[in-house]
Amino acid sequence: MGKGKVYLVGAGPGDIGLLTVKGMKCLQKAEVVVYDFHLNAQVLNYINSDAEFIYAGKRGGHHTMTQDEINDVLVQKAKEGKLICRLKGGDPFVFGRGGEEAVVLAEHGISFEVVPGVSSAVAAPAYAGIPLTHRLYSSSFAIIPGYEDTTKEESSIDWAKLATGVGTLVVLMAVKNLELLVKRLIENGRSPETPVAIVRWGTRPDQKTVVSTLKDIVLAAKEKEIRPPAVVVIGEVVKLRDTLKWYETKPMFGHRVLVTREHSTGFEALEELGAEVIEFPTIAIAAPEKYDDLDRAIEKIGSYTWIIFTSANGVRYFLKRFFEKDNDIRDLKGIKICAIGPKTAAEVGKYGMRVDLVPEEFRAEGLVEAFCREHGAKGMELKGMKFLLPRAEVAREVFPRKVRELGGEIDLPVTYRAVKPELHGKRLKRFLKEGRITIATFTSAATFTNFLEMVGDDALEFLKDVSIAAIGPVTAKAIEKAGLRADIMPVEATVEAMVEEIIRRKAVKES
């Protein structure tokens, strides 16, 4: 088999929005992903589910794999002809050992590309409101490692020149060596009154910023219990933080919101207000196991008076099968279309079809009345009408029963089904255990019950100190049955309404 290829990809400092478009594309086509610890867990959601995941991270000084072992894996997988994404926090060539890995690949004649990432060296100060350069304060900056032993005789850093020769100093991985770093800078002429900021977990909801002077920063860091990972910024530009800080002042800064549906569409308003959305879908939508009923309905499609779509999923999966059976959109001519809610109607519109009826909610009595009005029927009479309702595998029977009671006919082919995804919840469990999830959202009873099964025995204990948002009373009832309480529930059972209620209850209360 021919040699594969390795993409050395920088995943950015933490905020998922800082992952580059090219980095995303590399992730999506990779067959093997070798990834580090300091990544936003959401990055892994973009990886092909069939890809091989290899964890090579380091936490608290503990190496899961040595650098030599990582190099060997990259070479071995490439020689197997695989497309590999070496996913690293920040930028692979800024203290990321990406250069060492690239040299090994070059020595073995393996093709590689480097996809730069946003380094924490520039991102963390920016999210703390500190520009590294400013015309009135500093026209130069330098990035140096803080893990080097500053007491050793043969340092690779020229402290005498660096201490006063550069306007802004950015020091990475410096917390453990902070006292020696300060000592060396002051000894070499940097003013003890120089402003200093330490930004921990920059660009994330956990971001914490401590500001002091060079002579007092060690004490300030101890008092605020600053631990790695953190970025140290030294220079006059730190004075601008009071004016320019923007991230930590957002109304929902500090909140991590757990989303248990398949996509986080609709939750963007929370991100705009400073929250981080964590996707952990506990339900996935899939095609039905058998198409028999749906195929029979499609074969006699011209016999129906109405097609009723109750969700965007119903639209997509019905039309997908419809086209697979060698039909085109003209075969639906003459059939009226009902779409429950504006979102479902919008999905129908994407296929160039006009919707005849858009009720706001799926209520049996209201729908029957609407259909009778559309056909000028006297009273509640559906005789002669034939309905097609492509629906989920599990659905309520109230409306179909009502149609039949009033003389109508209705076919209910299973068009899609909800399944429980195969996801590894290790990182989510750690976030819950450490109290780093503040709000958990559930958009159906199934998303909640599946969550309990997927997280395991500790799930209920993890949720005790988390604000729980339920989309409606059925979901809230499932949560209460498990011994918990839904703290947040909108009047209208939509994602948008739930998000608005979260904002009202959290952002307003804490402002």
> CA-CA distance, 187 to 334, in Å (whole number)?
86
Work out the number of other CB atoms within 10 angstroms of the CB of residue 60.
Answer: 7
Query: Which tokens belong to 11?
Result: 């995943």
* β-pairing verdict for 195-200 and 230-234: antiparallel
Nearest to 108 by CA among 61, 134, 82, 76: 76
Catalytic residue among 36, 208, 353, 489: 36
383 phi and psi, to 5 degrees? -60, 135
Helix (H) or strand (E) holding 67: helix 67-79
The dihedral formed by the CA atoms of 215, 218, 220 and 225, expressed in degrees to the nearest 10: 170
Work out the number of other CB atoms within 10 angstroms of the CB of residue 149.
Answer: 9
Q: How far is CA 392 from the centre of its chain?
A: 26
The answer to whether the beta carbons of residues 150 and 123 sit under 8 Å apart is: no
Q: Is 173 a catalytic residue?
A: yes
Q: Which amino acid is at 263?
A: H
> CA-CA distance, 353 to 350, in Å (whole number)?
7
Cα dihedral sign, 63-67-68-73: positive
Helix then strand then coil, in percent of the chain rounded to 5, is: 40, 20, 40
Work out the number of other CB atoms within 10 angstroms of the CB of residue 25.
Answer: 15
Catalytic residue among 173, 252, 353, 489: 173
Q: Is 36 a catalytic residue?
A: yes
* Buried b / exposed e along 79-107 (16+ C-beta atoms within 10 A): eeebbbbbbbbbbbbbbbebeebbebbee
The answer to whether the beta carbons of residues 244 and 132 sit under 8 Å apart is: no
The answer to whether the beta carbons of residues 147 and 180 sit under 8 Å apart is: no
Nearest to 50 by CA among 32, 26, 76: 32
Nearest to 70 by CA among 92, 54, 89, 90: 54
Tokens 């011209």 found at: 302
Q: How far apart are the first and last CA of the chain?
A: 60
Catalytic residue among 22, 25, 58, 386: 58
Catalytic residue numbers read 36, 58, 173
